[in-house]
Structure 1
Amino acid sequence: MFPIPQPALSPNTYAYESLPLVKPTGFREYDARWLFEKEINLMGVQALGMGLGTLIRRSGVAPSIVTGHDFRSYSGSIKTALVSGLLAAGCTVHDIGLAITPMAYFAQFDLDVPCVAMVTASHNDNGWTGVKMGMARPLTFGPDEMTRLKEIVLAADFDLSSGGSYRFVENFPQRYIADLTNRAPLTRKLKVVCACGNGTAGAFAPTILEKIGCEVVPLDTALDFTFPRYNPNPEDLEMLHAIRDAVLENGADVGLGFDGDGDRCGVVDDKGEEIFADKIGVMLARDISARHPNAKFVVDVKSTGLFSTDPVLIANGAKTEYWKTGHSYMKRRTHELGALVGFEKSGHFFFNTPFGRGYDDGLVSALAVCDMLDRNPGKRLSELRDALPKTWSSPTMSPHCADETKYGVVDAVVKHFLDAQAKGVPAAGQSIRDVVTVNGVRVTVEDGTWGLVRASSNKPELVVVVESPVSEARMHDMFKAVDAVLRMHPEVGAYNQTI
Structure 2
Amino acid sequence: MAEKANQYIFREYDIRGEVEKDLTPGVVENLGRAFGSRVARSGGKKVSIGRDVRLSSDALFSHLSKGICSTGCDVIDVGAVPTPVLYYSQFLLGVDSAIMITGSHNPPEFNGFKLLMNKEGVWGREIQLLAKEMEAADFAKGNGSISKADVTNPYIEMVQGKIKLSRKIKMVIDSGNGCGGLVAPRLFKEMGCDVVELFSEPNGLFPNHHPDPTVLKNMTALRAEVVAKKAEIGIGYDGDADRIGIVDELGNLLYGDQALMIFAKDMLGRRKGSKVIFDVKCTSNLPDYVKKFGGVPIMSATGHSIIKNRMHEERAELAGEMSAHIFFAEDYFGYDDAIFATARMLKILDDARVPVSQFLSDVPHMFSTPEIRVDCPDDKKFGIVTELVEYYRGKYEVMDMDGVRVDFGGGWGLIRASNTQPVLVLRFEAKKSDDLERYKREVHEKLRTFGPLSALAPF
Does 2:74 align with 1:95?
no
Q: 2:125 aligns with which of 132, 141, 144?
A: 144
Q: 1:365, 1:46 → 2: CA distance?
A: 34
* Superposed displacement of residue 292, structure 1: 1.6
Structure 1 residues 234 and 184, CA, compared in 2 at 3 Å: closer, same or farther? closer
1:226 equivalenced with 2:224 (yes/no): no
Give 1:472's match in structure 2, choosing from 430, 433, 438.
433
Q: Quick one: which amino acid aligns to residue 483 of structure 1?
A: H
- Matching residue of 2:115: 133
Partner of 2:220: 241
Offset at residue 245 of structure 1 (A): 0.9
CA distance in 2, matches of 1:406, 1:393: 24
Secondary structure in 2 aligned to 1:256? strand
Which residue in the other structure is 2:302 paired with?
A: 325
* Corresponding position of 1:74: 56
Contact 1:300/1:324 (<8 A) preserved? yes
Query: In the aligned structure 2, how far is the partner of 1:50 from the partner of 1:40?
Result: 14
Which residue pairs with 1:106 in the alignment?
A: 88
AA aligned opposite 2:23: I
Superposed, 1:449-464 pairs within 5 Å as 449-464=411-426
What is the CA–CA distance in structure 2 between the aligned matches of 1:316 and 1:386, rounded to whole Å?
A: 15
Query: Identity of counterpart residues, as a percentage?
Result: 31
Q: Displacement, 1:446?
A: 2.0
The equivalent position to 1:336 in structure 2, one of 309, 313, 332, is: 313
Residues 357-386 of structure 1 deviation map (CA, whole Å, 9 limit, x = unaligned): 00111111111111111121x200001133
Contact 1:397 1:464 in 2 (8 A): yes
Q: 1:43: which partner in 2?
A: 26
Deviations 1:448-479 (A, max 9, x none): x01111111111111101112x1222222222
- Answer yes or no: is 1:31 the counterpart of 2:14: yes
* Distance 1:294-1:45 versus aligned 2 partners, 3 A rule: same
The answer to whether the 8 Å contact 2:77/2:147 transfers is: yes
Aligned to 2:102: 120
How many pairs does the alignment contain? 459
Residue 266 and residue 493 in structure 1: after superposition, are their counterparts in 2 closer, same or farther (change >3 A)?
A: farther
Give the 5 Å matches for 1:346-361.
346-354=323-331, 356-361=332-337
Contact 1:50 1:89 in 2 (8 A): yes
User: Residue by residue, what CA displacement relative to the aligned partner does 1:59-118 show, whole Å, maximum 9, x if unpaired?
Assistant: x25132110111011110110100000011221111101111111110000001121111
Measured in 2, the distance between the counterparts of 1:4 and 1:241 equals: 46
1:136 to partner: Cα distance: 2.4
Aligned partner letter, 1:359: Y
Whether the 8 Å CA contact 2:277–2:297 is kept in 1: the answer is: yes
Q: Secondary structure at the match of 2:98?
A: strand
**3-state secondary structure, aligned to 1:90:** coil
TM-score when normalising by structure 2: 0.96
Please list every run of 5 or more consecutive structure 1 residues that lacks an aligned counterpart in the other structure.
7-21, 421-431
Residues 188-216 of structure 1 show CA distances to partners (whole Å, capped at 9, x for unaligned) of: 32111101111111111111122222211
Corresponding residue number in structure 2 for 1:207: 186
**Displacement after TM superposition at 1:184 (Å):** 5.1
- The equivalent of 1:437 in structure 2 is 400
Q: Is the contact between residue 32 and residue 132 of structure 1 (CA under 8 Å) also seen in structure 2?
A: yes
Aligned-partner Cα distance in 2 for 1:362–1:225: 19
Q: 1:57 aligns with which of 37, 40, 46?
A: 40
Which SS does the other structure have where 1:104 is aligned? helix
Task: Name the counterpart of 1:269.
Answer: 248
Query: Are residue 5 (structure 1) and residue 3 (structure 2) matched?
Result: yes
**Aligned mates of 1:267, 1:187 — CA distance in 2:** 21
Tell me which of 446, 452, 455 is aligned to 1:491.
452
Q: Which is worse superposed, 286-295 or 45-54?
A: 286-295
Which blocks of at least 5 consecutive residues in structure 2 are unaligned?
A: none
Q: Does 1:162 align with 2:142?
A: yes
Is contact 1:397–1:498 with CA below 8 Å preserved after alignment? no
Give yes or no for contact 1:399–1:493 (8 Å, CA) kept in 2. no
Report the CA distance between 1:290 and its aligned residue. Answer: 2.0
Q: Could you say what secondary structure the match of 1:314 adopts?
A: helix
Q: What is the root-mean-square deviation in Å for CA atoms of aligned residues?
A: 1.6
CA distance in 1, matches of 2:364, 2:166: 29
AA paired with 1:56? V
For the 8 Å contact 2:163–2:343, the answer to whether it is kept is no
Q: Verify the 8 A CA contact 1:120 1:130 in the aligned structure 2.
A: yes
Which residue identity is paired with 1:460?
P
- Structure-1 residue corresponding to 2:343: 367
Deviation string, structure 1 residues 266-306 (Cα, Å, up to 9, x no partner): 11111111110101111221121122211210000001111
| More displaced 10-residue stretch of structure 1: 474-483 or 278-287 | 474-483
